[in-house]
Structure 1
Amino acid sequence: MARIHIATEYQSKRVTRSDGAELRAAIEKHWADAEPVVLDFAGVRIASVSFFDESLGRLALLHPVDELTTRVKVENIDPADRRLLDDIVRSRSRERTESDSAPLPG
């Protein structure tokens, strides 16, 4: 099982969209693994919409939430960060679902 320790692997890179894109790329490398990728947030507070949206929000835009929660496990996350992350994933998931059901042009 792949485990990504956010505090050590993303020491000062937990704020911007490009930081979030790096995390998303790391997750995607393990997407097809039999075991989920574990994101360990022990000892850090993110509080960055950009970081969460570009990493896990973009994944929620590309994949159903049930697949996302099967492939990625989040551990030791600050409660405020958890709420922020949940809001972002819900919003992106809604966006994906709405675009799937939108009528096609023509």
Structure 2
Amino acid sequence: MGRYFFKPQGSLRISSSTTSLQVPPPPPVYASPPPPPVYASPPPLPVYASPPPPLEIIANYHYSSPPPPPVYKSPPPPPVYSSPPPPPVYKSPPPPLVYKSPPPPLVYKSPPPPHY
């Protein structure tokens, strides 16, 4: 697009006080609007790798026969003791409490015989 120009309007005025000509200033000249921005084409859609095939297909593809079953180790044998452990030893119960014999009964002296 080209530039827009505005035609000045108005006429020349001659001032009576001076012989010089006064020309009104021309209206501002605006440049044409800037062209719209040019955008690069949108980026291509991302390309995702295809998901890996299931494991069974890979296993069957690599092996002519199915893989052997897993081999588990046998459980460890129980521990072997040379002799059975001795039975627990308990302390003997404490002897029964011994009480002191009760004190003998009090012995009272016989009252003195009466005096006549």
- So what's the TM-score if we normalise by structure 1? 0.18
Structure 1 or 2: more helix by fraction: 1
Look at both structures and tell me which one has the larger radius of gyration over its CA atoms.
2
Structure 1 or 2: more strand by fraction: 1
Query: Higher relative CO (CA 8 A, sep ≥ 6), structure 1 or 2?
Result: 1
